[in-house]
Amino acid sequence: MQLRYNFRLYPTPGQRQALAKAFGCARVVYNDGLRTREEARTAGLPYISDGDLSKRVITEAKKTPERAWLGEVSAVVLQQALADLNTAYRNFFASITGKRKGPTVAAPRFKSRKDNRQAIRFTRNARFQVTPGGELRLPKIGDLKVKWSRRLPSEPSSVTVVKDAAGRYFASFVVQAPSQPLPETAAQVGIDLGLTHFAVLSDGRKIANPRFLRRAERRLRKAQQALSRKQKGSANRAKARARVAKAHARVADARRDFAHKLSTSIIRENQAVMVEDLCVKGLARTRLAKSVQDAGWSALVSMLEYKANRYGRTLIKIGRFEPTSQVCSACGVLDGPKPLRVRSWTCAACGTRHDRDVNAARNILAAGRAERLNACGAQVRPGHAPAQREEAGTHRGAA
């Protein structure tokens, strides 16, 4: 399977200038290609092929005085910028014709030098290499110092140099990583994601919600206020903008580190992991939007998914409409919806006292086990038995 390995770069002032030049050239080629196709569409001309576009905005453009400086950077960087534009067009056309699943993809847009993220990509044709001294050698840029935190499992097929909003540089290697199956275990777990607790496991464990953004709000607010008081276009405003970006980067890094450690622990301890397929985009439109975005559920599920594939585990997603909070995990009686303020309840049929989140996690585990058996040809599980009307604990239509 293909994985990305990210490492921090520490370029010298001269290398930063060379990288800035490469970022700018890649951005210009991308914008020139987009502009050329837009002008052809406006004039009613046929769609320009990828090969013809490359000749116009790279090969022929280098011969003109206005774009002669494109020859000062690696040609692979320019070709890859144009490849990104072609991919964006293909995704756009596939989306509007219905061939691409998921949300509608917008048409390509022009890039700006003020974008928060700048990136260039080198493939094997560029002959980049990691030197014996542990530096990353890039054509027409030089040997960059890399902070290695682990070994690459194989020779990288490409490397992307990224500059983020905080002014940090990263090298992102694409490598072919072999699968590393862990020893099999009989343990299985269901996970109920929430806001009061970030995750509640079916074995009763509760993972506290770290709330990284909420904890950093005061520092972020002060940095943003200082930025708002600086004169636009001044050097002090640029410094204040960098401080705001660094504060946000610390929050994002802490959240990512937490998700990596939690997902690795869950995958190592369990042979099968069951999670609920939450509609995060819909929840982000409610009054809880800030807390939902701060939690980062999607990042955790994505990490669980690729780590399960790599380490020989099973990840099963339960449908978002499964009534996990309404069913008694002991007897299977459907007791109806309950408002969020109800954190514990007693089953009217069997008398079992349930913690709302732990009960939901156990129902997620049971539903995941049933789907796992069904995929192997076992009998489909029967539906839940609804409780009698007079036994329901809440009014109809309650959340």
| Amino acid letter for position 252 | A
Domain boundaries of the chain, sorted by first residue? 2-176, 188-318, 333-391
What pLDDT score does 75 carry?
A: 95
398 pLDDT band (50/70/90 cuts)? very low
386 pLDDT band (50/70/90 cuts)? very low
Does position 222 have pLDDT exceeding 50, yes or no?
Answer: yes
| Amino acid letter for position 5 | Y
Assess whether 390 carries a catalytic annotation. Answer: no
Does position 173 have pLDDT exceeding 80, yes or no?
Answer: yes
What pLDDT score does 390 carry?
A: 37
**Average pLDDT of the segment spanning 148-156:** 92
Assess whether 276 carries a catalytic annotation. Answer: yes
Residues 388, 389, 395, 399, CA torsion sign: positive
Of the residues 32, 294, 335, 357, only one is catalytic, namely: 357
How far apart are the C-alpha atoms of 136 and 10, rounded to whole Å?
10
374 pLDDT band (50/70/90 cuts)? low
370 pLDDT band (50/70/90 cuts)? confident
What pLDDT score does 125 carry?
A: 92
* Residue 165 DSSP one-character state: T
**Average pLDDT of the segment spanning 191-214:** 92
Does position 137 have pLDDT exceeding 90, yes or no?
Answer: yes
23, 183 contact by CB (below 8 A): no
Of the residues 192, 253, 257, 305, only one is catalytic, namely: 192
How far apart are the C-alpha atoms of 122 and 125, rounded to whole Å?
8
Of the residues 32, 276, 294, 335, only one is catalytic, namely: 276
Round the average pLDDT of the chain to a whole number and report it: 89
101 pLDDT band (50/70/90 cuts)? confident
- Helix %, strand %, coil % of the chain (to 5): 45, 20, 35
376 pLDDT band (50/70/90 cuts)? low
What pLDDT score does 237 carry?
A: 95
Percent of the chain with pLDDT over 70: 93
The count of C-alpha atoms lying within 13 angstroms of the C-alpha of 381, restricted to the half-sphere facing its C-beta, is 14
**Count of helices and strands (H, E) across the chain:** 10, 16
What pLDDT score does 369 carry?
A: 87
How far apart are the C-alpha atoms of 391 and 351, rounded to whole Å?
12
β-pair partners for 89: none
Q: Pairing state of beta strands 206-208 and 188-193? A: unpaired
What pLDDT score does 375 carry?
A: 56
How far apart are the C-alpha atoms of 202 and 266, rounded to whole Å?
12
How far apart are the C-alpha atoms of 70 and 116, rounded to whole Å?
23
Assess whether 294 carries a catalytic annotation. Answer: no
Percent of the chain with pLDDT over 90: 71
What pLDDT score does 382 carry?
A: 41
What pLDDT score does 325 carry?
A: 83
What CA dihedral angle connects 308, 197, 261 and 167, to 10 degrees?
A: 110
Task: Summarize pLDDT for 257-278 with one digit per residue, the tens.
Answer: 999 999 999 999 999 999 988 8
Helix axes 217-228, 235-269, angle to 10 degrees: 160
392 pLDDT band (50/70/90 cuts)? very low
What pLDDT score does 234 carry?
A: 94
Task: Summarize pLDDT for 295-342 with one digit per residue, the tens.
Answer: 999 999 999 999 999 999 999 998 888 888 888 888 888 877 887 788
Does position 227 have pLDDT exceeding 70, yes or no?
Answer: yes
